[in-house]
Chain A
Amino acid sequence: MSNSIFLHGALDLLILRVLREESRHGWAISQRIRRVSGDALDVNQGSLYPALHRLERRGWIAAEWGTSENNRSAKFYRLTSAGRAQLDEQTAGWREFAGAVQRVLQHA
């Protein structure tokens, strides 16, 4: 719960990052974020979807209905080239920001 305030701002970035290697459907994205973060980022899973739709609308990701691993139809999201550029930009921005916060926490 206490993570949620940080997560809100970072969710877009996390989604873009998770989609960098391969296209995934919504559940797979949330699963991936949970796994890699060691369940630290336990997203209120539903809030993933408004974010996905927002990113799609901005043209950073594209969506397509396809067939899932267990043969069910699912909506797959993939990163567009605009999204890739955005990911690089946001990653750099995040690193800078996190570094700054880290420095303040250590030295202030």
Chain B
Amino acid sequence: MNPLRRLHLLLRDVFGRRGLDRDVEREFAFHLELEIEENVRRGMSRERAEREARRAFGNPRRHKQATRDTRTWRALERTAGDVRHAFRAFRRHPGFSLAAVLTLALGLGATTAIFSVVDGVLLRPLPYPEGDRIVRVGWSFGASGGTVSALSPLKYRHVAGNARAIESLATRRSVSFALGEGPDAPVVQGLRVSPSFFRAMGVPPARGRAFSHEEAETDAPVVVVSDRVWRERLGTDPGALGRTIALDGEPHTVIGVMPEGFRLVDLPDGGDLFLPFRFGPDAAEERGNNYTAIGRLAPGATRETAEAELAVLGTTFRRAYPDRVEDEETYTLDGYLAPYVSDRLRTALWGFLAGAGFVLLIACLNVISLFLARGQVREREFSLRAVLGAPATRLARQMLTESFVLAAAAAIIGSLLAAASLRVFLSLVPAELPRADTIGLDLRVLGFTAAVAALAAFVAGLPAALPAARARLLDALAGGRSGTQGGHRRPLVRRALVAGQVATSFILLAGAAVLFASLRNLLTVDLGFRPEGLYSVELVRERRPPAIETGRELVDGQPGPEGADVASPEPPASRLARELLPRVAALPGVRSVALSANAPLERGLNVVATLAGAGEEHSANIELRAVSPEYFATLPVPLAWGRAFEETAGEGAEPVALINRALANRVADEGRGATLHIGRFRGENLCADCPARRVLGVVDDLREISPEAEARPTAYVPIAQVAGRYDFYALPRLLVRTHGPPPSIEAVRAAATQLGFVSDVTIRPATELRAARLAVDRFNAALVGAFAIVAVTITAVGLYGFLSYMVNLRRREAGVRLAMGATPGDVVRELTAGGLGPVGVGLAAGIALTVPLSRFLESQLFRISTIDVRVLGAAAGALLLVAVLAALVPARRATRIDPAGLLRHD
């Protein structure tokens, strides 16, 4: 057919519908007339001729319908008709429709919200060209030792020089600079990166160029700036390339500008300046795996080939340095974001999606149940339509259309619910969640919602549509026997639905209960020190360009503040200890103050060390904490034996250390008489001037990193003795123990700023640090708890609906029994018990299913078994209570049945 004609037909179908119908009617009329005339000619009476003509023609409505069905737009038209019909049906049953839409909306809302998080964090591709080919190389210490997503300089060079499957290996290190001149110059975050960094990310500067290897090797004063800096600081000046800007007062030439929108998804604030990175001259001796290694899979290489190659390189490295590396250690390969998405978080997120899916499932079961209940009521309507010539498939399609319309409404409401709840949700999200700022409802997520809604519509509508498709509906019209025989098949289905809902709710409820119990354990676990009344004071260093360096002269004639990159005559820690500590200690309410490189519940520094005592040596990776002598009294930490170091343990004094039990237990006699040699490993001194330290004593193990983690082997060294060595220690924390309320932030700030080298302070209670450590646990518990509440609510609605229906079914029986003298209490009890049957079955199924499902929870739990009898019992009890309440209401209604009225009704 030629396109013009097709278009003509289409337009006629759409706009000439009525005309076409009229034409068909005229055709029919003409046909009948001729037929009648023909019959009369054959000798029939007029009356008989008409009757015969009609009989021979058949049902004109049906033929007309069939004629219409041949039209192009007919399919759409029919759907529109179905939708109109669906809306009419909903208006006739507003309660039903509202319940169904809201239940589905809750399920879809939960699924949408969680999917947006899963999508944003796990699924969405990285915003870099072929972002899935960006990899990180790390190091595995074997099965027991864990992995780090970073390399030592030696390993980095080994991989960079030898791996063929990975190209453009680059490292990076966060830096910050005062940008521009003058005291108000803003501090901007940036990175020192290898020249290959831009190739590894796949994003070259949009203007200008990246720096060269020569520039990196000579530490040339060049900088690539972000689009933001270019706009806000350089005024989008096209001539900005080649201009000189001051970074911490040093002139740097701008050689490139990154494209608009380029950001580092793992360092949201970190990508405004890019400067050349080079390893220091002693890098080869650095043993710590502290350098990020980002690269790109070479063309033709896959993850697998790269992993295979790294395994080979791992062996080469082990052979080259057998004394440094254990047998099972090797390189690891990860995706770009892998270090930020722990297995635990990944499992949790997928678990949440599964949980939301369960909620949706319960909602679907509810809608199925509601549809079936209404189907009973509508059997007459359907029978009538079947008799009037509606084909069976037509009725089934009608049911499905209704369920799709419901689901569409629910999807809209659910998306709104998700949008609203997402805000609450994101405020709970653990800080470690990468790309949390990109989470939101976009077309991708809404597309997912639409797909899930369609699936839900199908699942919810099909059980009602299938019987509707069966022609036996005629039965209902014939006998009106819906109350007797016809009713028995479906209560079984509905009982199963209720049982399914109860089982699913139970799984969610039990999961939530276990997670809450685990959270409570984490909040009450003995850390070894009391977080209450302990405060961590963070000192924010003032970044000042050398232009105003004269400020240094003002402070007691001592050398003043320094940038991190400049060697300081006196480490800031010493000055803090000497000048700030006494002032803070003198504040009202303060019991003691200590300096510590890291607050408790923050990680310390990971170093290698050898503990030597009584003729044996033990080398290990340990946690190093640099603290002032007051640390042990401030936390306080009990000493197993020995004493804390003294205030005079400064740079010139005898090198000393305290160790914890976890470390002390590795040598004889709890480490008495032992020495600790940091930087020494298996007989090799990796640090030329690190002294052996006399172990002064042993402290109790603390859960100092996280409430979840057992104490790692830890050494405490006087901060004054190591302050100059690690620039990590540039500005330590002040740990303040008070008699209760936090120290006055104004007073601390005044004391600190008066010293002239901090610009601000923030005070965080240790309880808050603990809470931050438990963010994932809190998030888990809150989320699954919310799911469980929604699930139980939906189940209660379903149960209520089911029992109302059962009561209706047994009205007559209840009425007769009441008439025969049964007390209302008897009837209520019996009906309730009848309704609770499926609840019992559901609970049993739920408990049975919880056992295999619980292993998914194991990684999320602390000191509680996934199958804790008390917890499961509590969940079952709560569910049962809700069930009884949901059952009582309709059961009591049964007792108000008027037997006389019932009899009259028949």
Contacts and interface: CB of A to CB of B under 8 A. Distances in A.
A47 interface: yes
A47 to B, nearest CB: 6
Contacts of A45: 31, 35, 56-58
Interface in A33-82: 42, 44-47, 49-50, 53-54, 57-59, 68, 72-75
Contacts of A59: 1, 5
A39 B615 CA distance: 119
B38 interface: yes
A49 B33 CA distance: 16
Contacts of B27: 25-26, 49, 74-75
B67 A49 contact: yes
Interface in B32-71: 33-35, 38, 56-60, 62-63, 66-67, 69-71
Contact of A50 (B26, B56, B67): B67
A26 B67 CA distance: 13
B30 A47 contact: no
A46 B70 contact: no
A27 B1 contact: no
Nearest to B24: A49
Given A30-B31, A53-B24, 6 more contacts: A26-B31, A27-B34, A42-B56, A47-B66, A49-B27, A75-B27
A31 interface: yes
Given A50-B63, A54-B70, A44 B9 contact: no
A27 B57 CA distance: 10
B31 A50 contact: no
Contact of B23 (A25, A46, A58, A75): A75
A30 to B, nearest CB: 8
Nearest to B38: A31
Nearest to B23: A75
A72 B31 CA distance: 11
Nearest to A45: B57
A30 B71 CA distance: 22
Contacts of A50: 63, 66-67, 69-70
Interface residues of B, number: 27
A46 B62 contact: yes
Nearest to B34: A27
Contacts of A53: 24, 67, 70-71
Contacts of B5: 59
A25 B70 contact: no
B641 interface: no
Given A57-B9, A59-B5, A46 B57 contact: yes
A46 B30 contact: no
Contacts of A75: 23, 26-27, 30
B1 A58 contact: yes
B28, B31, B35, B70, most chain A CB atoms within 10 A: B31
A42 to B, nearest CB: 8
B461 to A, nearest CB: 29
Contacts of A42: 56
Interface in B1-40: 1, 5, 9, 23-24, 26-28, 30-31, 33-35, 38
22 contacts: A26-B30, A27-B31, A27-B35, A30-B31, A44-B56, A44-B58, A45-B31, A45-B35, A45-B57, A45-B58, A46-B57, A46-B58, A49-B28, A49-B63, A50-B69, A50-B70, A57-B72, A68-B30, A73-B30, A74-B30, A75-B23, A75-B30
A40 to B, nearest CB: 15
A45 to B, nearest CB: 5
Nearest to A69: B34
A49 B71 CA distance: 13
Given A26-B27, A57-B9, A46 B60 contact: yes
Contacts of A46: 28, 57-60, 62-63
Contact of B30 (A27, A31, A57): A27
B35 to A, nearest CB: 6
Contacts of A27: 30-31, 34-35
Nearest to A29: B31
Interface in B216-234: none
A68 B34 CA distance: 11
Contact of B70 (A44, A57, A68): A57
Contacts of B58: 44-47
Nearest to B61: A46
Contacts of B62: 46
